Structure 1
Amino acid sequence: MTDQPTATDQPETRPHVPELPRVIQGGMGIAVSDWRLARTVCLHGGLGVVSGTGIDTVLLRRLQDGDPGGEVRRALAVFPNPALAQACLERYFRPEGRAPGEAYARLPMPTAERYRDAWEMTLLGAFVEVTLAREGHDRPVGLNLLTKLQLHTLPALYGAMLAGVGTVIMGAGIPRDIPGILDSFAAGRPASLRVDVRGGEGLTLTLDPADFDLRPDPLVRPAFYPIVSSHVLAGVLARKASGPVQGFIVEGPTAGGHNAPPRGPLTLDDRGQPVYGERDEVDLPAMRALGLPFWLAGGCGTPGALRDALAAGAAGIQVGTLFAFAQESGLRADLKADVLTRAQAGSLDVFTDPLASPTGFPFKVVTLPGTLSQPEVYAARERVCDLGYLREAYRTDSGRVGWRCPAEPVAAYESKGGAAADTPGRKCLCNALMADAGYAQVQRGGRTEPGLLTSGDGLGALRDWTPGYGAADVLRVLHG
């Protein structure tokens, strides 16, 4: 295991900016971009990125499945608060794993007043993921987070920084506050994040390392690369973020996962997909004029795309789809095999669904039997909200902060002031993406949560790849 950052007498708030990679591996889904994939990418010269989304639940489910290789326990053994790590093991580790059909134990869903359990496990989960991804090499490791998951942002960032994360990448929102948070944590100070609250004043959450019996030592400040879909947003973040930004991921609407909505009035094509036009194209000369490095993302999984990006002044590309289906990724083996088989047959389809995500952002969905992409599977699933990552905060009539999600049971959503018209077509991405990575919850009645696969529009290019290919193969081909 590589050495952890060493505290110094003077705070080190200036980010460590290593040689810029030409290829950044996308931070995909829940545990798809896991430590194994990120570590392999780093070992072969790219920037490997772990996903921090839902990392608290991922940690607990790995432990409940017996931690077969012992990797989680090995990383927890070097967490700087041994008592916290040991308490987690005593509560969740099952040496023999779960019994067939047994549900995973759940964490209480965090709220504005009660989030200690989620924060402790997020701290541990982010630390474990980055620690394992850093083993055996000295290259930087990245962390990807969704800006909209505000309740979990602070502990995910601090846990990753404790493990020596080198780069933080964030999209699905405007992460204006993140640079200042990184500066504060790097200087050994508490950090605060403003949480959006619909219908009223926001709330401020603060993480003080001392509250978790962690010494507030200075840490290495990671580079920060927000994901943007326009040069205008990039310019705003470069000038008005709470601290310095070191570069940008410029993501087009062909990228997998969440997409930025089209600019202007929403228009749908004959399939019901948002229509993107010239206003959604990024002005690359304007990006160059900002004077910061940037990487192009979305449909960039070819050597030609890398050459074109470099010629346009980019530092390189970010690639998701090819890495998602590589043998080292955390995606379930049966899903990989099904998609790669269909790719050979030319029978794959990706639909940009304007309704699937509770966030309201368009979300790329792979049409695949047995998943929530199928109307009959979606209709048969009983609505339940037991993870709650994509809930929105809102002000109740009494002035308190409540939490709701348009993918939860409709009656519950309406009782919280939500409109029933916002619920049709909304899918529980939290449970579905856990299922994609092999951590499907068993709900009451023995029903196992179905998955919902996301991918970029270039999924059909997988027909050129032999099943069983690895991340090293991807990098070799991209670099020509």
Structure 2
Amino acid sequence: MTRPDAAGRDFGTPAIIQGGMGVGVSGWRLARAVASTGQLGVVSGVALDALLARRLQDGDPDGQVRRALAHFPDPTLVHRTLRRYFVSGGTDRNQPYRPVPRLGLRSHRHGQELAVLGNFVEVFLAKEGHHGPVGVNYLEKIQLATPAAVYGAMLAGVDHVLMGAGLPTEIPGLLDTLAEHRPARLSVAVQAATAGQRFDVTFDPADLLQATPAPVRRPRLLAIVSSATLAAYLARDDTTRPDGFVVESPLAGGHSARPRGALRLSADGEPVYGPRDGVDLARMAALGLPFWIAGGQCGPEQLAAARDAGAAGVQVGTAFALCRESGLDAALRRRMLARAAPGALVVRNHAGVSPTGFPFKLVHLPGTAADDDVYADRPRHCDLGYLRTPYQRPDGRVGYRCPAEPVDDYLRKGGAVEDTVGSRCLCNGLVAAVGLGQRRPDGYREPPLLTLGQDLSFLPPLMGGGDDYSAADVVSYLLGASAAAHA
């Protein structure tokens, strides 16, 4: 699943996949550091249009974004984007960031350009200086962004596409189509749609680029699932079969699957998972496709056990999210490490926080959007809108709504008031967590929202009495005992 490096070494199927966490947390620096060790480094492909625009408005101080853009195959498209967003020396820190087009069924050319360029830049920079594999992680729920985002990553030579938060049944075909620079179409789920009515988002590379680029390699698809049943469903047919799976337990950071059966909450308000939520690893192995286990897997013993169970290895997120190459705001990362050392860092799985309806992990760090008082002071803006849900209006047109938007707006659009209770704006909070939060004209600053997995047992051996560690340290720690066990 990887190719030989310049010295002729073939890394083979990676034992470790670095999780594609959050918005910009799994950035190009982290993915490059992991891929340089021969393991699969992964960038998050979510909201890269907004991150590109805001990095350019901050002046691109190290020049890396503009350097990557110089390699894009259509200079005219790059020039338009730089003219619109680049500010030499950066904008006044009291001025809001210029907005980017929000996603919709009717594609906005400028928005598509930003999505293509943002994904190209992130993957291009992640792949520089080594021959290890690089992947990009998307949420299946954000269907409106997928075709343009995937195409940008493919133009930069991405090796793997990872996709969760839904069943990516149409993605194998999408990858085939885009690899040939052909017009693509992807189905979009629309709530309250008339029975039998189909909605799609379309993307045509020829409409975007002045000339057809050189052929690109089709990346491999890894579907992120929560059970062997879902994996078997995807593997049953050539049109839906991915190239492998990441099977994720509820311990993993970010979103997790709902518990099977009736929802029960613990005394802390967390969803209660039971035996039915376990993963049948023997059944996963019987599918005959490589798979990796995720959620609470950061240790050499876990890697060895995964491989003994037939897995190719493990996916690890939280340990990489807290390492020094992480895209998290440096001050926030240091605060989390400082609280985690004495065991005082609290991560809870909340049933009603995410606008998606899936449980979502929140780090309860004072001053962040996990704090009820902090969030209560936040105006309910919805100006990024990646998690908005398309719905069909009574007049047949398609609208967009989000439980985290102003309550009156959500109710006017036919939403249920109970959906709004406790719902957090993940889009703005996660962007703020990587230091690119919106600045409002009245001086308001978006508070960050942080997510991690709930297993932090890896920190003492990784920290070793120090106060920091690297991505390479995580890889070495994971491979230590497991390499000996499988020598």
Q: TM-score, normalised by structure 1?
A: 0.95
Per the alignment, residue 66 of structure 1 pairs with 59
Q: 1:203 aligned to 2:171?
A: no
Q: 2:181 aligns to what?
A: 188
How far apart are the structure 2 equivalents of 1:81 and 1:365? 40
Q: Secondary structure at the match of 1:206?
A: strand
- 1:191 CA displacement: 1.5
Indicate if the aligned counterparts of 1:346 and 1:460 stay in contact, CA closer than 8 A: no
Q: Deviations over 1:167-215 (max 9, x none)?
A: 0000011111101100111233222100000011341122111010251
Partner secondary structure for residue 263 of structure 1: coil
Give the equivalent residue in structure 1 for 2:274.
277
**Corresponding residue to 2:46 among 40, 48, 53:** 53
CA deviations on 1:352-394 (whole Å, 9 max, x unpaired) are 0001100000001111101111110111111000000000000
Q: Alpha-carbon deviation of 1:247?
A: 0.5
Deviation of 1:241 (Å): 6.2
Preserved contact between residue 231 and residue 287 of structure 1 (Cα < 8 Å): yes
Partner of 2:83: 90
Return the offset for 1:243: 4.6
Bigger shift: residues 195-204 or 253-262: 195-204
Distance 2:411 2:125 in 1: 43
For 2:131 and 2:154, the matched residues in 1 are separated by 15
Task: Please give the root-mean-square deviation of Cα atoms over the aligned residues, in Å.
Answer: 1.3
Q: Is the 8 A contact 2:127 2:134 kept in 1?
A: yes
How far has the Cα of 1:261 moved from its partner?
0.4
The CA deviation string for residues 267-323 of structure 1, in whole angstroms up to 9 with x for no partner, is 111111101011110101100110000000000111111111111110000000000
Match of 1:472 in 2: 472
Pair 1:30-2:23 in alignment: yes
Matches within 5 A, 1:354-393: 354-393=351-390
- Which residue number corresponds to residue 9 of structure 1? none
Q: Is the 8 A contact 1:350 1:459 kept in 2?
A: no
> What are the Cα deviations for residues 440-474 of structure 1, in whole angstroms up to 9, with x where unaligned?
10124111000111010113542442322100111
Name the residue aligned to 1:168. Answer: 161
1:177 pairs with one of 158, 165, 170: 170
Question: Post-superposition shift, 1:18?
Answer: 7.2
Aligned to 1:146: 139
The C-alpha deviation readout for 1:415-458, integer Å capped at 9, x for no partner, is 11111221010000000000000101012411100011101011
- Is 1:27–1:144's contact at 8 Å kept on the other side of the alignment? yes
Q: How does 1:243-262 map to 2 (within 5 A)?
A: 243-262=240-259
Check whether the contact 1:389–1:430 (CA below 8 A) recurs between aligned residues.
yes
TM-score, length of structure 2 as denominator length: 0.93
Distance 1:64 1:467 in 2: 33
Q: Choose which of 113, 120, 124 in structure 2 pairs with 1:120.
A: 113
In the alignment, structure 1 residue 462 sits paired with structure 2 residue 459? yes
After TM superposition, the structure 1 = structure 2 runs for residues 221-260 of structure 1, keeping only pairs within 5 Å, are 221-240=218-237, 242-260=239-257
Quick one: structure 1 residues 157 and 114, their matched pair in 2 at CA, closer, same or farther if it must change by over 3 Å? closer
- Aligned pairs for 1:414-433 (under 5 A) are 414-433=411-430
Alpha-carbon distance in 2 for matches of 1:169, 1:452: 23
Measured in 2, the distance between the counterparts of 1:174 and 1:192 equals 16
Q: Does 1:352 align with 2:345?
A: no
Residue 76 of structure 2 aligns with an amino acid whose one-letter code is A
Structure 2 residue runs without a partner (length 5+): 1-9, 481-487
The aligned counterpart of 1:325 is 322
The residue matched to 2:447 in structure 1 has which SS?
coil
CA separation of 1:164/1:445 partners in 2, compared to 1, >3 Å: closer, same or farther?
A: same
Secondary structure of the structure 1 residue equivalent to 2:400: strand
**Unpaired segments ≥5 residues, structure 1:** 1-16
- Count of matched residue positions in the alignment of Structure 1 and Structure 2: 464
SS of the equivalent of 1:248 reads strand
CA distance in 2, matches of 1:417, 1:457: 35
Q: Are the aligned partners of 1:188 and 1:217 in contact in 2 as well (CA < 8 Å)?
A: no
Where 2:239 maps in the other structure, the secondary structure is coil
Task: Confirm or deny: 8 A CA contact 1:130 1:164 kept in the other structure.
Answer: yes
- CA deviation after TM superposition for structure 1 residue 114, in Å: 4.4
User: Aligned partners of 1:260 and 1:240: how far apart in 2?
Assistant: 23
Pick closer, same or farther for the CA change 1:461–1:345 going to 2, 3 Å: same
2:107·2:201 contact (CA, 8 Å) conserved in 1?
no
Of the three residues 301, 313, 319, the one matched with 2:310 is 313
